[in-house]
Amino acid sequence: MTFNPNGDAIETVFYLNDTSNTRNVYSGTSLNLTSHTISRPSGASMINNILTFTKLENKSEVMNALASKLGLSSALKFYDVCSLTEADSLKHIPRPVYALLFSIPFTSTWETITRAKEMAKPPYKGSGPDEPAIWFKKAINGACGSMGLLHCLLNGPAHEYILPNTILSRLYERSIPLGPDERATMLYNDQKFEDAHQAIAALVDKSSSAENIGKPRRHFVAFIRGEDGSLWEMDGSRGGPIRREPTLEEHEDLLTDDILKFCMAGFVDTNSDEAVTLPLNSLSRGHLVNGRSEGVQPRTFWDPAWYGQDHWPPPSK
């Protein structure tokens, strides 16, 4: 039992010694000594001292539920996309589309190639109001779905529909001045974000988990429109956000032909849970004030230092 300076009890802490180190096990958690897993009250776990969330499925009902719980206006919705190569399959998607969220197979070959590419690039250091895209470095296992969601909601026109005094508005405001490592730490320690993710994960039908046994692991990648008008690939497991060509015209959204071919068109064409989009349903909602939602200030764009050929572009002279 620990006490504060006033002599009041704060929490019960049990200390167990193992061969590697001393672990603190808090009241309300359970310890699995075989796998070194500590179950947290939220339903998440500490596995080998790494925070691990329950994985989410890339389905519109899951993403809409989490977006609502985090604080997104109901004016914006996710919609399932079965194919990006057949025009008829896109007719039911309301326009404009502000983001694309893909679920792709996470293979050892893909991981090896990706890591090799990232090692050849300098570390990303972007931060501040001039950053064209807010990017989160992955630090939580199993959280790539909710991180992909954040990349969709905190960037581009979608962030105008963040409701004030919510988890999303707080993450948006706090993340802007922070660098990648500080953002990762902020998200890692955010209990409300953890609780929201786990609450939605607990609602998923358990039978769907059984259906996925034996299937390749899947990974989330988001595509968004940056403050500079460019198409950005957002993946927390990469070394930073990646700017893709071409630049979007003012009237273009992410379902135009030129944009789709840069968003893995042809890769997702069979399973309805492999991609969802984030379109705007109604311009009359979202509590807009001067073109932005209340509690969210507009950001200006300035090209940061040169990061690499397919990351930050060189500053224009």
Per the prediction, the chain carries an average pLDDT of: 72
Given a cut of 90, is residue 117 above it in pLDDT?
no
Q: Is residue 115 located within the same domain as residue 233?
A: yes
**Residues 28 and 131 placed together within one structural domain of the fold:** no
Could you give the 3-state DSSP secondary structure of residue 50?
Answer: strand
Q: Does 258 map to a domain?
A: yes
Identify whether 50 is part of a domain.
no
> Cα–Cα distances in Å, from 53 out to 56, 59, 175, 193?
9, 17, 21, 11
How does DSSP classify residue 230?
-
- Same domain as 279, residue 151: yes
Same domain, 28 and 165: no
pLDDT of residue 67: 95
At 276 the pLDDT is 57
Averaging pLDDT over each range in 124-128, 280-284, 294-298, which range is the top one?
Answer: 124-128
* CA neighbours closer than 13 Å in the CB half-sphere of residue 112: 3
pLDDT at 50 over 90: yes
Confidence band, pLDDT 50/70/90 cuts, at residue 197: very high
Q: Domain check: are 82 and 226 in the same one?
A: yes
Q: Are residues 146 and 265 in the same domain?
A: yes
Contacts of 289 (CB under 8 A, 6+ apart): none
Helix axes 167-175, 180-188, angle to 10 degrees: 150
Across 76-167, the runs of DSSP E, i.e. the strands, are: 79-80, 97-105
Please report the sign of the dihedral spanned by the C-alpha atoms of residue 158, residue 281, residue 232, residue 81.
Answer: positive
* Cut 0.85: pTM above it: no
Report the C-alpha gap between 161 and 253 in whole angstroms.
17
What one-letter code names the amino acid at 203?
Answer: L
Average pLDDT of the residues in 224-235:
90
Is residue 317, in this structure, part of any structural domain at all?
A: no
In a domain, 245, yes or no: yes
In a domain, 313, yes or no: no
Catalogue the E-assigned strands of 18-133.
22-26, 30-32, 37-39, 45-47, 50-52, 79-80, 97-105
Residue 291: pLDDT above 60? no
Q: Is 314's pLDDT higher than 90?
A: no
pLDDT band at 217 (very low <50, low <70, confident <90, very high): low
Query: Where does the pLDDT of residue 264 fall: very low under 50, low under 70, confident under 90, or very high at 90 and above?
Result: low
Q: Above 70 in pLDDT, residue 97?
A: yes
151 and 198 part of one domain: yes
Number of domains in the chain: 2
Domain containing 177 — which CATH number? 3.40.532.10
Residue 193 domain flag: yes
| Domain annotation covers residue 304 | no
In terms of residue numbers, what domain contains 14? 2-39
Region for 72 from its dihedrals, namely left if φ exceeds 0, alpha if ψ lies in -120 to 50, beta otherwise: beta
- 268 contacts 274 by C-beta, under 8 angstroms: yes
**Cα-based distances in Å from 311 to 77, 89, 237, 241:** 29, 32, 14, 6
Confidence of residue 307 (pLDDT cuts 50, 70, 90): very low
Same domain, 27 and 132: no
Residue 74 inside a domain? The answer is yes
Q: Are residues 8 and 77 in the same domain?
A: no
d(CA 287, CA 136): 26
**Average pLDDT of the residues in 269-297:** 39
Per-residue confidence (pLDDT) for residue 244, from 0 to 100: 81
Claim to verify: residue 35 and residue 67 sit in the same structural domain = no
Tell me the pLDDT band of 112, cut-offs 50, 70 and 90.
low
Q: What is the phi-psi region of residue 165: left when phi exceeds 0, alpha when psi lies from -120 to 50, beta otherwise?
A: left
36-48 confidence digits (pLDDT tens): 889 999 999 999 8
Same domain, yes or no, for 177 and 282?
yes
Does 71 share its domain with 179? yes
